[in-house]
Amino acid sequence: MKQLIKGTEPASFSQWKNEANVEWTPTYTTLQNPLKKELHDSLLTEQNFSCCYCGREVGLTDSHIEHFRPQSLYVPLALDYQNLHASCIRATTPDTPLHCGHLKDNWFDEVFYISPMEDGCELRFRYLISGEIQASERGDLAASKMIDVLALDIAYLNNRREQAIRGVFDNNFLSEASDEDLGKIIAGLRATGNENKPAFSHVIARYAEQLLAS
């Protein structure tokens, strides 16, 4: 899972919600373009155009506005900007299963969940050189549940993460890298304000952290 740092909601979205009166109540269903597109753009921009769950690159056409707590179950949060993210919209190929937000759908469990806004949420997951994802702690049932609910361990994502990891941590690097080298990778990818981070940058940073701790 990729940790998110929420920004300020678009002014147009705030203004639209503030137009509520005794005769009209704003709802997610009545949110239409261009306001909805502006909201979607804002979410993508603050997430560096990556999915809030798996971290793969996404844009307007292959992502959707995700309600972390489903609007069908948490009606008051349907227009709460803190509850809105951008997530994968569909399978990448006909034979690839759904994952992330569209697979999660209306699921939520107030006990076994991890929010992408939770400080340190990325540390609750670890990655193998093969790209496979696991809970960092065997007893972390919430981490295991999120992997299952979001299908973060499907072959498509494992393969993409493996490419990202091996693209940095090849055999030559692993044989020569110092703790300082690993620290520089972590610092660069964890730095806020860096808009040029590669897809799965959080996976690369996490793998470097694992190597540093080993």
63-67 and 84-88 beta bridge pairing: antiparallel
Question: Is residue 81 domain-resident?
Answer: yes
In a domain, residue 103? The reply is: yes
Domains contained in the chain, number: 1
Residue 86 within a domain: yes
| Inside any domain, residue 5 | no
Per-residue pLDDT of the chain (214 residues; tens, 9 = 90+): 889 999 999 999 999 999 999 999 999 999 999 999 999 999 999 999 999 999 999 999 989 999 999 999 999 999 999 999 999 876 556 677 889 998 998 999 999 999 999 999 999 999 999 999 999 999 999 999 999 999 999 999 999 999 999 999 998 998 888 999 999 999 999 887 666 788 899 999 999 999 999 8
Is residue 4 included in any domain, yes or no?
no
Query: Is 120 inside any structural domain?
Result: yes
Structure tokens at 117: 């806004």
The token pair at 9 is: 């909601």
**Residue 6 in domain:** no
Extract long-range pairs of 11-17: CB within 8 Å, 24+ residues apart. Answer: 12/38, 13/38, 13/39, 13/42, 13/81, 17/79
Please tell me what DSSP assigns to residue 81: G
**Domain contains 20:** yes
Which two three-digit tokens encode residue 120?
């340190």
Question: Residue 96's domain spans which residues?
Answer: 11-213
